[in-house]
């Protein structure tokens, strides 16, 4: 590889494993000592190493935290939205992983390993590395790795040998892909295929990513089927009701409606309960439980709800939210990665931004306005009148605050949007 070039996994995999590991060790050692390496690390690895150095992760010692107990692991498994698609992951990955001397692990959104299967010898190697059920493999705990780094970047990542930040993981290669809830973009966990460094193959990245997408597709099918069942429950209920009403599932997705336009989704309270509540897009409402969801009945209100304060929190790497305080109280909504990007850009540009301007900020392509308008339409389902348009902006009388990370380089680390990358300072190889 030439001076000033960036590591390429395809070329790397063609090398003898020991030689490739030595080369990567030299890159890591030079980078961590503050020198410019002969070959630059890949951007996703370089940025991860930067987060580890800023966060104080020890590159020479794996500071192992205690495993979850058997009962807590089982509790997390039963509560995991990934449990129904575990057979899909097993069928697509485990058999091939065993033959290729790999193991498959599935973590939750916290980076805790909940399931682990595969080649018996490699499972024992994983035990020695602490790569076992109940272990915590978040990036800020054990450094750059195939479980924790995809949780931060929100995209598939392959980590080979000394690309791992912590030295004890260098005999290992791992490839992980995040899985998100197709209903709202919420991060559910990571599926990872790992093994000895000799087994590294660049095609593993596409394979694992495709399986993660298959699992998400199965979750989408389950969601659609659930709405169909709820629609059957809702039909006789809505037939007896006069006025406006809708039936939604536990996540606010609409199954049926009467007397009003059909919204795709409404923002239910964080802990919905029978009785009165405020729904941003509908105003004051009454909730009543149904099998598999809620009956929502909007009520008339003589007092319009005026926002007093909007706080956008983008300070943490995997959890972003918007909180609104107004005359009717306060509410909080967890944001998807894309919505976090959009609201951050709008909060910085109080004068507003056109769809083409936001497309330029997000994609570097002002022509991608259809995608931007579709996403902002989804944002308005929970922000309602707090998101004006022509141009898109927060209302002038709203107080808007952005809670930023302590270090600007940790801003929305998943984002590849040009405007966000520029705000982070870009990539300094």
pLDDT at 382: 81
CB 425, CB 407: distance < 8 Å: no
How far apart (Å, rounded) are the C-alpha atoms in residues 403 and 363?
24
E strands, 303-426, are 307-313, 321-326, 329-334, 399-403
Which residues on adjacent β-strands are paired with residue 329? 326
The residue to which tokens 């966000």 are assigned: 420
Which residues touch 398 (CB under 8 Å, ≥6 apart)? 307, 308, 309, 310, 386
For the segment 351-362, what is each residue's pLDDT rounded down to a tens digit? 999 999 999 999
How far apart (Å, rounded) are the C-alpha atoms in residues 367 and 89?
37
On average, the pLDDT of the chain sits at 89
Q: Which residues of the chain have pLDDT under 70?
A: 1-4, 10, 13-14, 63-65, 301-307, 327-329, 426-429
How far apart (Å, rounded) are the C-alpha atoms in residues 43 and 2?
17
Six-digit token string for 170: 């260098």
pLDDT at 365: 94
The residue to which tokens 């750059």 are assigned: 144
pLDDT at 304: 52
How far apart (Å, rounded) are the C-alpha atoms in residues 298 and 385?
17
How far apart (Å, rounded) are the C-alpha atoms in residues 184 and 252?
10
Closest-CA residue to 285 (of 263, 309, 308, 312): 263
How far apart (Å, rounded) are the C-alpha atoms in residues 293 and 308?
31
pLDDT at 330: 74
pLDDT at 96: 84
Q: In what order do the strands lie in the sheet with 329-334?
A: 329-334, 321-326, 307-313, 399-403
Share of the chain above pLDDT 90, in %: 60
| C-alpha dist (Å) from residue 99 to 104, 118, 128, 137, 344 | 12, 9, 21, 25, 46
Q: Per this entry, what is the length of the chain?
A: 429
pLDDT at 251: 87
How far apart (Å, rounded) are the C-alpha atoms in residues 42 and 223?
37
């Amino acid at each position: 590889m030439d001076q000033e070039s960036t590591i390429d996994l395809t070329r790397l995999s063609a090398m003898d494993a020991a030689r490739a590991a030595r080369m990567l060790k030299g890159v890591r050692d030079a980078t961590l000592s503050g020198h410019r390496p002969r070959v630059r690390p890949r951007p996703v690895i370089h940025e991860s190493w930067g987060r580890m150095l800023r966060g104080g992760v020890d590159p020479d010692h794996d500071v192992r935290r205690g495993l979850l107990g058997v009962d807590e692991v089982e509790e997390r498994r039963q509560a995991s939205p990934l449990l129904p698609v575990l057979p899909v992951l097993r069928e697509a990955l485990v058999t091939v992983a065993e033959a290729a001397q790999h193991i498959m692990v599935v973590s939750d959104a916290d980076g805790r390993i909940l399931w682990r299967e595969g080649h018996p010898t490699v499972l024992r190697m994983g035990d020695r590395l602490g790569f076992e059920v109940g272990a915590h493999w978040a990036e800020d705990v054990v450094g750059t790795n195939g479980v924790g780094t995809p949780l931060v970047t929100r995209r598939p990542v392959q980590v080979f040998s000394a690309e791992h930040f912590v030295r004890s993981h260098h005999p290992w290669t791992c490839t992980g892909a995040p899985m998100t809830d197709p209903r709202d973009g919420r991060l559910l966990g990571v599926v990872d295929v790992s093994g000895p460094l000799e087994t590294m193959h660049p095609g593993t990245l596409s394979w694992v990513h495709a399986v993660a997408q298959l699992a998400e597709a199965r979750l989408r099918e389950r969601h659609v089927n659930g709405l169909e069942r709820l629609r059957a429950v809702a039909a006789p209920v809505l037939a007896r009701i006069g006025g406006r009403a809708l039936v939604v599932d536990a996540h606010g997705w609409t199954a049926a409606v009467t007397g009003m336009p059909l919204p795709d989704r409404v923002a239910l309270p964080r802990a919905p309960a029978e009785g009165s509540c405020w729904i941003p897009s509908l105003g004051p409402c009454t909730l009543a439980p149904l099998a598999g969801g809620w009956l929502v009945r909007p009520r008339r209100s003589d007092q319009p709800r005026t926002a007093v304060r909007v706080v956008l929190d983008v300070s943490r790497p995997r959890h972003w939210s918007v909180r609104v305080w107004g005359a009717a109280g306060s509410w909080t909504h967890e944001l998807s990665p894309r919505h976090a990007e959009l609201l951050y850009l709008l909060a910085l540009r109080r004068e507003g931004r056109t769809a083409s301007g936001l497309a330029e900020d997000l994609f570097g392509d002002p022509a991608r306005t259809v995608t931007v308008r579709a996403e902002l339409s989804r944002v308005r389902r929970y922000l309602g009148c707090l998101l004006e348009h022509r141009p898109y902006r927060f209302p002038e009388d709203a107080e808007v605050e952005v809670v930023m990370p302590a270090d600007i380089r940790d801003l929305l680390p998943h984002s590849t949007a040009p405007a966000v990358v520029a705000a982070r300072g870009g990539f300094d190889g």
